[in-house]
Amino acid sequence: MTPAHYVDGAFRAPAADDSHTFPLIDPVDGTVTGRVPEAGRATVDEAVAAARGALRGPWGALGAAERAAALRAVADGIDARFEEFVAAECADTGKPRPLAAQVDIPRAAGNFRAYADLIAGRHEESYRTAVPGWSGGAGEALNYTVRRPLGVVAVVSPWNLPLLLLTWKVAPALAAGNAVVAKPSEETPSTATLLAEVVHAAGLPRGAFNLVHGHGPGGAGEFLTAHEDVDAIAFTGSTATGTAIMRGAAEHLTPVSFELGGKNPALVFADADLDAAVEGTVRSAFTHSGQICLCTERVYVQRPLFEEFVTRLAGRARALRDYGPMISAAHRDKVLGHYRLAREEGAEVLAGGGVPAFGGARDGGFFVEPTVLTGLPPTARTVREEIFGPVCHVAPFDTEEEALALANDSSYGLAATLWTTDLSRAHRVAPRVEAGMVWVNCWNLRDLRTPFGGVKASGIGREGGTHSLDFFSEPTNVCVSIGE
Ligand SMILES: NC(=O)C1=CN([C@@H]2O[C@H](COP(=O)(O)OP(=O)(O)OC[C@H]3O[C@@H](n4cnc5c(N)ncnc54)[C@H](O)[C@@H]3O)[C@@H](O)[C@H]2O)C=CC1
Ligand SMILES: O=C(O)/C=C/C=C(\O)C(=O)O
């Protein structure tokens, strides 16, 4: 798979000039596996112009049912090349095959199917309104709302769930009738390129979907998101990058949908099913080596369960074997920096805390150990800053009020997990957690129709179901006087 830009319905081979490409690195062993083209300003301009052209051309003329059919064709195309997608996602990210085969790639196809269904079944809002006497009319009026696409949508996505998160935005944007220019993470360009091939084969009109590769600041990402002819930006990534993108967007008042970082708490109450809570926390803290924005990094356990919970969680962490690497050497160094900081802050390291030795090619990769910490106060940086690695800090609490205060003591508010068998407690506590999503006795159980996103520094707006379709479209209300 050679990453390539896809602009106006045509692939562009990487420029012959090496300065316009950068290396693609396998995080499992640190080897260079290919080169990625870096889109300059001119390529981004062409992609945005192609998207604008598509809106004025055949793509813009399609109705909802035809767009739904196009989305289904893309989903079928992903399914047809399933193994290629899985291999490419594993090669770019180093993630274990089951994760890509059971989550990333099926969800990418699922994103297109979900939005095909939603757009095909979408109905308009309407109201009958009594006409007041002062208006000179009589009887009733009919109000109904039509929705138009926003126009050219920029999609900027991260490296952790590359195709899943790219398609999570591209699918609803296309469903609502927009044209898209997507820029995947520079670390993970391959499945996005395969997606462009699938879109091409599915016969979407040229310019409806465009793909440019490259870096963020001072590169393709910034050129795209600060572009004056972009009508909306959908971004998933770090809070710092969200802030930078918003600065550029402010210049043109471009609307943004942001899904940003998290420092997600898990609350384990004394009445919890301990086995389920331990296994659930192993999943929520260590899946994809903690490189999912929803991962748990703070665990609060009610005192009667605390000792047994941490002992068991640390044991499970030490026993983990088939985990993937950090995405890059830079990210590994960042996570290891946090492990060092935790020690400096006085943490007790119950599991991990370093670099594993496998004794083979993987020792050249970017692995860090699954790590369990305890003993830090709520003010410690380790307990406050997003680490985005396989690590959680576990602390005890006594009362429900204390648990809520600890959970909410964060600048982030993405997701939380509650472990309890007390139904009343679950319903009492869940709405009081300052988070966009609260899972009770489960984690990352997804229904694509539900709102997805965060509060505070974790994001702006919600994705999922009609929430995405609302963001990617503009309502116009039509009021018709019917008379008596
Ligand atoms: N969903 C999440 O919560 C994610 C959080 N992170 C966190 O962010 C840290 C940095 O990782 P990065 O890969 O650098 O994430 P990032 O947020 O900087 O990158 C995500 C995407 O934004 C683009 N981008 C970066 N700067 C940009 C700019 N100024 N304008 C436009 N586009 C820009 C990147 O090229 C990439 O496609 C990680 O260590 C991790 O802590 C990273 C990925 C996902
Ligand atoms: O949509 C999902 O199921 C998962 C989303 C995860 C992220 O947005 C993330 O890790 O950034």
**Burial grade of 423 (CB within 10 A; 0-12, 13-18, 19 or more):** exposed
pLDDT value at position 1?
80
Tell me the CA–centroid distance for residue 164 and ligand 2, in Å. 8
Which residue from 99, 161, 260, 448 has its CB within 8 A of the most atoms of ligand 2, so it is best to mutate? 161
pLDDT value at position 100?
98
Q: Which atom of ligand 1 is nearest to the CA of 224?
A: 31
d(Cα 322, Cα 335) in Å, to the nearest integer?
Answer: 19
pLDDT value at position 365?
97
Partners of residue 301 on adjacent β-strands: 268, 396
Which residue from 163, 292, 327 has its CB within 8 A of the most atoms of ligand 2, so it is best to mutate? 292
CA 373, 379, 381: angle at the middle one, nearest 5? 60
Protein residue with its CA nearest to atom 8 in ligand 1: 238
5-260+458-478: what CATH class? Answer: alpha beta
Going 268 to 272 to 278 to 283, the CA torsion angle's sign is: negative
Residue 98 has pLDDT above 80, yes or no: yes
Tell me the CA–centroid distance for residue 226 and ligand 2, in Å. 24
pLDDT value at position 12?
86
Partners of residue 234 on adjacent β-strands: 155, 257
Q: Could you tell me where in the chain the CATH 3.40.309.10 domains are found? A: 264-448
Structure tokens at 167: 């398609």
Q: Give the pLDDT confidence of 370-386 residue by residue, as tens digits.
A: 999 999 999 999 999 99
pLDDT value at position 76?
98
Percent of the chain exceeding pLDDT 70 equals 99
Any idea which ligand is nearest the CA of 452? 2
Mean pLDDT of 392-402: 98
Q: Contact 210/63 with Cβ under 8 angstroms?
A: no
Predicted structure pTM score: 0.97
Structure tokens at 340: 């060092």
Q: Which atom of ligand 1 is nearest to the CA of 184?
A: 37
Tell me the CA–centroid distance for residue 291 and ligand 2, in Å. 10
Tell me the CA–centroid distance for residue 168 and ligand 2, in Å. 9
pLDDT value at position 15?
61
Mean pLDDT of 56-77: 98
Residue 353 has pLDDT above 90, yes or no: yes
Protein residue with its CA nearest to atom 1 in ligand 1: 237
Q: Which atom of ligand 2 is nearest to the CA of 463?
A: 1
Q: In the structure, what pLDDT confidence band is assigned to residue 308 with cuts at 50, 70 and 90?
A: very high
pLDDT value at position 484?
83
Protein residue with its CA nearest to atom 3 in ligand 2: 446
Q: Contact 135/62 with Cβ under 8 angstroms?
A: no
The residues annotated as belonging to the active site are 259
Q: Which atom of ligand 1 is nearest to the CA of 242?
A: 17
Protein residue with its CA nearest to atom 11 in ligand 2: 293
Which residue from 107, 167, 236 has its CB within 8 A of the most atoms of ligand 2, so it is best to mutate? 236
Tell me the CA–centroid distance for residue 445 and ligand 1, in Å. 24
Tell me the CA–centroid distance for residue 113 and ligand 1, in Å. 27
Percent of the chain exceeding pLDDT 90 equals 95
Q: Contact 236/165 with Cβ under 8 angstroms?
A: yes
Protein residue with its CA nearest to atom 7 in ligand 2: 293
Q: Give the pLDDT confidence of 163-182 residue by residue, as tens digits.
A: 999 999 999 999 999 999 99
Mean pLDDT of 125-131: 95
Q: Could you tell me where in the chain the CATH 3.40.605.10 domains are found? A: 5-260+458-478
Domain at 264-448: CATH code: 3.40.309.10
**Burial grade of 277 (CB within 10 A; 0-12, 13-18, 19 or more):** buried
Q: Contact 457/262 with Cβ under 8 angstroms?
A: no
CB atoms within 10 A of CB 290: 24
Any idea which ligand is nearest the CA of 261? 1
Indicate the helix (H) or strand (E) that contains 343. helix 329-344
Tell me the CA–centroid distance for residue 438 and ligand 1, in Å. 24
Protein residue with its CA nearest to atom 40 in ligand 1: 388
pLDDT value at position 144?
97
Q: In the structure, what pLDDT confidence band is assigned to residue 137 with cuts at 50, 70 and 90?
A: confident
Q: Contact 293/262 with Cβ under 8 angstroms?
A: yes
Protein residue with its CA nearest to atom 27 in ligand 1: 216
Structure tokens at 471: 């963001």
Q: Which residues line ligand 1 (CB under 6 A)?
A: 156-160, 183, 185-186, 215-217, 221-222, 225, 236-238, 241, 244-245, 260-261, 293, 331, 334, 386, 388
Mean pLDDT of 106-133: 95
Q: In the structure, what pLDDT confidence band is assigned to residue 17 with cuts at 50, 70 and 90?
A: low
d(Cα 300, Cα 402) in Å, to the nearest integer?
Answer: 10
pLDDT value at position 220?
96
Mean pLDDT of 106-112: 98
pLDDT value at position 18?
55
Mean pLDDT of the chain: 97
Q: Which atom of ligand 1 is nearest to the CA of 186?
A: 35
Q: Give the single-character DSSP code of 15.
A: P
Mean pLDDT of 200-216: 98
Tell me the CA–centroid distance for residue 256 and ligand 1, in Å. 15
